[in-house]
Structure formats: C-alpha cells, structure tokens
Chain A
Amino acid sequence: MANGVDNLVNQVRENRIWRSIFRSGSGESNLRRALFVQQNVFLHLFSIKSRKRVLEFSATWYLGALTFGTFLILVITGILLMLYYHPSVPQAYTDMKDLQYVVSSGVFLRNLHRWSAHAMVFLVFAHMFKVFYRGAYRTPREFNWIIGVVLLLVTLLLSYTGYLLPWDQLAYWAVTVGSNIASAVPLVGAKMRFLMLGGTAVNANALLRFYVLHCVILPVTAVLFIAVHFWRIRKDGGIYPGESASEVSSK
C-alpha cells in the first residue's frame, strides 16, 4: 500500500507538466532537496540546509514562524472582512455590526481577525525576548534585529489603525487620545496630527486614512520587511545555533 502511494507520487513528480513547474524532480538525494528549496520563489529566501538542532522547539519556540502564521491569518481574514466593510462614517459601525449579526460566519472571521491581531502583537514581543535572551541579535545578525524592530513598529501601527475601523466609542476616543499623544511631539506635533487625521478632529478623513494605512500601506510594508527579514536569516548564516556552536565564541 505504502509502496503504491510512493509510486504514484513518484509518477506525478516525473510527469512532464510537474517537471516544467518543479524542475528539481523526484528523488531522495540531498541535492534534489536543496534544488527544490533553491528553485522555489518563496522557499529560496530560506537556507537550503539547516542544522537539526535549530529546527528543534527549544531553539526558537517557533515564535517567528507563529508570528508569520498569525500574519497570514490576518491577511486572509482581513481581505474577507473588506468585502462587507465601507470605511465611511454612516456605514462603518453598522457594517461592523452586520458582520457580527447578519453575515454568515462574519462573527467568526471578525473574531479570528481580532484575536489573531492580539496574538501577533504578543508573539512579536515574545519572539523579540527569545532572540534577545539567546543573544541571537549579535554580530552578524544585528541588521536583522533592526529589521525586526521595524516590523514591531509596523505591527503596532497595524494594530492602532485597525482599532479605529469599528467606529464605536472605544475606537473614536482611543484614536482621539492617540492622535493627541502624537501632537505632543515638539514643533511638528500639531502638523503631524493634522496630516494623520486629515483634519482637526477624528472624522471621515481620519477613518479613510486609517483604512488605507491599515489595508494597503502598512501590510505592503510588512510584507517587504518580512521578505528581507527571512532572507537575512540565510545570509547571516542560518538560525542562531546557540552559544557553544556560534561564530561569536569561536572568535
């Protein structure tokens, strides 16, 4: 039975169409496996080989991968929520309520989006603590730490801009308070608040600006920095293996 399945898989892999997409073909050799990673547009960001111990749970607690997982959930559920949500003052709140009570599975998708957002913020912090306490931020990985800090800021801004979109009392006053905190910046604070809100108060312009930031500008920024973040892991010698095997101690 198992052999039959293996034969079938191998037949599919040797198929001409399959081979035109995945050139590395079938086989158990490390070369084939390495080629599979190297020739895939998404996987080629990663190392073709990893130490076994860095793939164990204890090395990373999989916090970075889990963060990326929540990000994927947020993108998918976010796009689905966009199909029912209008970023306008008369509609935003009722659309949010419709998603909860009228749209099939709307409450599930909205809650999934909300809880994934909370989880992502938590996981980003946890990931950073893990990296920090393992010392994995040190040379040659210091630049990737900086990219991580940028990603932290993008995550927090995504949370903040998403907070306004339900357009309820909590959202309205949270963003009123938040934008007033921004206006405390010396000299340019008031102007910054004006540009951020597109006006002097949290209103229709602010809702639209936060929507565009939340759904386009910040996610695109996040994707670009995530790509660089993953690629730098390979360029910096793979996932940090720990003190005893590290480049730092061998110096």
Chain B
Amino acid sequence: MSTQSFFQALQNTELAISIGQSNHLYGVLAQLFHIGGLVLILAPILLVNLRLLGTGLTNQPLRLLVKSTNPLIFAGLISILFSGLFMFAPSAALYYPNPAFWLKFQLLALALLVQFTLYRKVTASENPHRTLAIITALISLTLWFGVGIAGRAIGFIAA
C-alpha cells in the first residue's frame, strides 16, 4: 500500500470519520493542546540548550536541568501527539500533497535522532567540551524550532 492510499484509508476509518464529524469545538481544543504541547516541549529544550551555549542557568548542574525538564517534555509530547493525531486523521489525504507537512516530519525525525544520540551524550557529562556543547545546542535548537515553523507553515500552504 502506498503512503497516499494509507493516508486515504486512515481518513476513511470510522474513527477518523467520527472525529471529522464531531463538534468543531473539539478541533479547536486540539489546536490549544497542540500549542500547549509545543510550549511544554520547546521551553525546556530552550532552557537546556541555553545552558549548553553558556548562557541562562550556567551555574546549575547540566544533569539537574535535563532531569527536571524531562517530565515537562514528556507531558508536552503526549499532548502534542494526541492532539496532532486528532487533527491529522480526519483529513490525512489533504496533508499528503503539502510539502510543509513532510518537511515537518523529516525535521522531527532528525530532531529525535539528535535528541537520543548527540544531545543525550553531551548532556550526560557535567562539563562537555565547550565547542561540542555549542554545536549540539545550535543543531538541537535549529531542528526543534524548525519542526514548529514547518508545522505552522502547513496551514499557510494549505490556505
């Protein structure tokens, strides 16, 4: 099955159809949970990356910042994932031709890859090499904010 027909099939499932026919208020709520999730994910990532760049909470242990922000990021991921699926499912086939949609998920894949490799390795040591820390922060911030910008662009391109 091609991706396009998979999207079409997803859109035609009973669940997706019932979401599409539900009160528009739920769609608005999904948008609110999506933006709430964005803030809960990006603000902690910003906080840790500022520390890697040598600004912000520089006199706090790096691992403390990582450990304390993980629950916020996790809550944000849950919020953004379910609200995103709720918005995506009823009009999946509409997203297929949208280049911003694909860019968003390519950036997300890269952001997650960096998050669980380079970023994890750098934030695991208390005093990472200064240049490596700065490069990691710049990559992480570019990718994560890129996901948000590409996500916003979906609406502009579809409009």
Are the chains A and B members of one assembly? Answer: no
